[in-house]
């Protein structure tokens, strides 16, 4: 197998890991305003991701760095053409992360309210914009003969890409609701299960429409058969997750929503291959795993580095999730408002 293909697969794995792990982070952040009924319940929701949210973002950094090193032409075209949406995602993540640390530094309700908005919108915007970005990558954008994006920001807001944003939003909300049901007990758990069923049904309808539309866009793709197979499996996993959450089996439901995201994102990369950014102006202008890649020597060195450090990251994150696996509820929240949510979460070690 060519190293360019290997690195295309590795980058797909990194993005899949990011969407699975940060997906429920975004879902929990959104649900702090939609599910929690008071300040204590919001602190419960934030504490469910307190020990892991920063580690989950490592996958984004590694995915971006790997894209830059393995496919510099892809990175350059992507980050220059998608500059504004990616900048909005970056700003949202910054405000969201700061909010986790500063929300309870003061007891005033007005102070908490502003940071609660930062958590909500800092989770909502990336959840939508990542879907819009990947929708455009799969659909194709206006790339000229110089391998440069020549469209505008509003060209990126086409119906197909917006539908992709709704898919990621609905899937992340469902994934987050299932995670909350898995990590909490009491009334919050029951409400999270009900909400997961509702959002999951909406996600199923939107995702099926998006995948059918993707098939119509990419039906001439080299591995379209694999795309169809993965898309069908993703739909079945989502149905299985909804059945499990209805039966009160939150662990199986979480595995189901995680598998849904894995298979759905994998299907998009399969539909894309061997392109990395198709051109809507002329197929000859498209960026591929061949013309966008680094030198063979660079890819060889990167492969050794990835082989050593990727397992270490996976082992560490698996260990952290095992340590913080217990359920929490309103009874576990200390009465002092001076303790920040992530600090409170870490204090349970």
Rounded to an integer, the average pLDDT of 70-90 is: 90
CATH of 3-295, one of 3.90.480.20, 1.20.1630.10, 1.10.630.10, 1.10.3720.10: 1.20.1630.10
pLDDT at 37: 83
Q: Report whether pLDDT(147) > 80.
A: yes
Q: Is the Cα torsion angle 114, 118, 121, 123 positive or negative in sign?
A: negative
Run of H or E including 49: helix 39-49
* pLDDT, tens digit (0-9, with 9 covering 90-100), for 150-199: 888 888 889 999 999 999 999 999 999 999 999 998 889 999 999 999 99
Q: If pLDDT is split at 50, 70 and 90, which confidence band does 347 have?
A: very low
pLDDT exceeds 70 at position 288: yes
Give pLDDT, residue 219: 80
Q: What is the mean pLDDT of the chain?
A: 87
Instruction: Report the relative pairing of strands 275-277 and 287-288 from DSSP bridges.
Output: antiparallel
Residue 61: per-residue pLDDT: 87
Helix axes 58-70, 296-323, angle to 10 degrees: 170
Please determine, for residue 241, whether its predicted confidence score (pLDDT) is greater than 90: yes
């Amino acid at each position: 197998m060519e190293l360019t293909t290997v690195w295309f697969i590795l980058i797909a794995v990194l993005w899949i890991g990011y969407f699975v792990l940060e997906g429920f982070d975004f879902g929990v952040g959104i649900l702090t305003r939609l599910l929690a009924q008071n300040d204590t319940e919001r602190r419960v929701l934030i504490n469910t991701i307190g020990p892991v949210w920063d580690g989950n973002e490592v996958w984004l950094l590694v995915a971006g760095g790997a894209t830059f090193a393995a496919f510099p032409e892809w990175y350059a075209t992507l980050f220059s053409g998608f500059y504004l949406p990616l900048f909005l995602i970056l700003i949202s993540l910054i405000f969201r992360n700061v909010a986790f640390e500063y929300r309870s530094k003061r007891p005033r309700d007005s102070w908490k309210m502003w940071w609660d908005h930062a958590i909500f919108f800092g989770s909502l915007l990336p959840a939508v914009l990542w879907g819009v970005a990947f929708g455009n990558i799969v659909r194709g954008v206006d790339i000229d003969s110089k391998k440069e994006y020549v469209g505008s920001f509003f060209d990126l807001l086409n119906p197909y890409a917006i539908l992709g944003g709704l898919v990621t939003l609905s899937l992340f909300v469902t994934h987050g609701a299932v995670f909350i049901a898995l990590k909490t007990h009491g009334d919050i758990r029951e409400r999270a299960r009900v909400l997961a069923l509702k959002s999951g049904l909406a996600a199923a309808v939107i995702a099926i429409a998006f995948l059918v539309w993707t098939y119509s866009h990419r039906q001439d793709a080299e591995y379209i058969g694999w795309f169809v197979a993965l898309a069908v499996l993703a739909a079945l996993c989502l149905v299985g997750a909804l059945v499990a959450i209805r039966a009160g089996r939150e662990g199986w439901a979480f595995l189901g929503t995680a598998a849904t995201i894995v298979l759905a994102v994998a299907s998009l990369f399969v539909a894309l291959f061997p392109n990395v950014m198709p051109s809507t102006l002329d197929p000859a202008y498209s960026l591929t795993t061949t013309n966008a890649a680094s030198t063979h020597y660079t890819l060889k060195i990167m492969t050794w580095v990835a082989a050593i450090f990727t397992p270490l990251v996976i082992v560490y994150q698996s260990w952290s999730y095992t340590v913080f696996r217990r359920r929490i509820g309103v009874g576990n929240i200390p009465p002092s408002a001076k303790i920040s949510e992530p600090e409170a979460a870490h204090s349970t070690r």
